[in-house]
Amino acid sequence: MMRKVKAALARSRVAAMTAAALLLAATGAWAQTSGGGTEGFVPVNTLPPAQLLPAAPLLVAAYAFVWLALLVFLWTIWRRLGKVEGELRQLEGKTK
């Protein structure tokens, strides 16, 4: 019974992650196709300062996201490993 619940939770997590990925992809595609831009090539040095996009904040945000995702992943592995160790201790206690 417990395995069925865990399997259902895993499936729902996968479905949620897939939906989030599709939503992010759709918003990126929508942002690229939005009108209002200039037609043709415009050199960067001719753009007004309000239209220049600084790279540093985006780079810091990307690195922060990757590090946060890595830490969350490692934390989940640590929790699962703790559960497995607890189960091993229980089995070891039952066999003695």
> In the numeric block, which tokens belong to residue 68?
């946060």
Q: Which residues contact 44 (CB under 8 A, 6 or more apart)?
A: 52
* pLDDT value of residue 31: 59
Per-residue pLDDT of the chain (96 residues; tens, 9 = 90+): 677 777 877 888 887 888 777 777 766 666 555 555 667 787 877 777 776 677 888 899 999 999 999 999 999 999 999 999 999 999 999 987
Spatial contact of 77 and 85, defined as CB atoms under 8 Å apart? no
Spatial contact of 82 and 89, defined as CB atoms under 8 Å apart? no
> Phi and psi dihedrals of 82, rounded to 5?
-60, -40
